[in-house]
Amino acid sequence: MLSDMRVLIVEDEPRVADALRTGLNAEGWSVDVTGDGLEALWYAENHEYAAILLDIMLPGLNGYKVCTRLRAEGNATPIIMLTAKDGEYDEAEALDAGADDYVTKPFSYVVLLARLRNVVRRAPAREPVIHVGDLVVDPATRTCLRAGDEIPLTSKEFTLLEMLAAQGGQVVSKRRLLEGGWDFAEQPEPNVIEVHISALRRKIDVPYGRRSIRTVRGHGYQLVPDA
């Protein structure tokens, strides 16, 4: 539902920013506003948005650089560039930076709203967060929490944990974990799965007195709720 959507407006002209906020609020959107490029990065890196309306001419960091930085970090939030500049080269630069669309000021609010809805519809669905007891695995942000604490994991550790969590308590074989966590070019040691599972247990189970990752001898491993 659009009423559940949150949009970040990055616009340093107060009149334009206020008009956009008022219009989008009336349509049922939740809105955050900033007029600074560096602050926009912080908002986008620390909050989830359905889309970002991003002006190009900004203090702190211009819109091109904000967009490029977000894309380099793997942030796929749809971005519509807003600018008073015109011309095919400005549009090309915005798209090359990773923007999903481009609107030149002065723009029609009705057209902007239609484009906003369009980029949100086209955005790939966010992978659902997986809950296993008090363990939370978020594939989209590749973060893991237990009892509200964020647990730092290596890339391999998270991949293995995600594979186990996605199976809803079913047993996952060592071979499947190996195939999912290592590509063909790598040559992992024979006991690499045991090593990483042991490291995972030391991080997500032992400090919390849990036994969520269980070994099923001769078959593999499973992740189960453990109160």
Q: Give the whole-number percent of the chain exceeding pLDDT 90.
A: 48
The yes-or-no verdict on residue 83 having pLDDT over 80 is: no
Residue span(s) of the chain under CATH 3.40.50.2300 come to 2-122
Q: Please, which pLDDT band fits residue 2 given cuts at 50, 70 and 90? A: very low
**The CATH number of the domain covering residues in 130-223:** 1.10.10.10
Residue span(s) of the chain under CATH 1.10.10.10 come to 130-223
- Is residue 209 packed enough to be buried (19+ CB in 10 Å), middle (13-18) or exposed (0-12)? exposed
**Per-residue pLDDT reduced to its tens digit, 37-47:** 999 999 998 88
Please name the CATH architecture into which domain 2-122 falls.
Answer: 3-Layer(aba) Sandwich (3.40)
- Residue 53: which H helix or E strand, with range? strand 51-55
CB-based contacts of 104, cutoff 8 Å, min separation 6: 83, 84, 85, 86
Q: Structure tokens of 155?
A: 């890339």
**Per-residue pLDDT reduced to its tens digit, 205-215:** 999 999 999 99
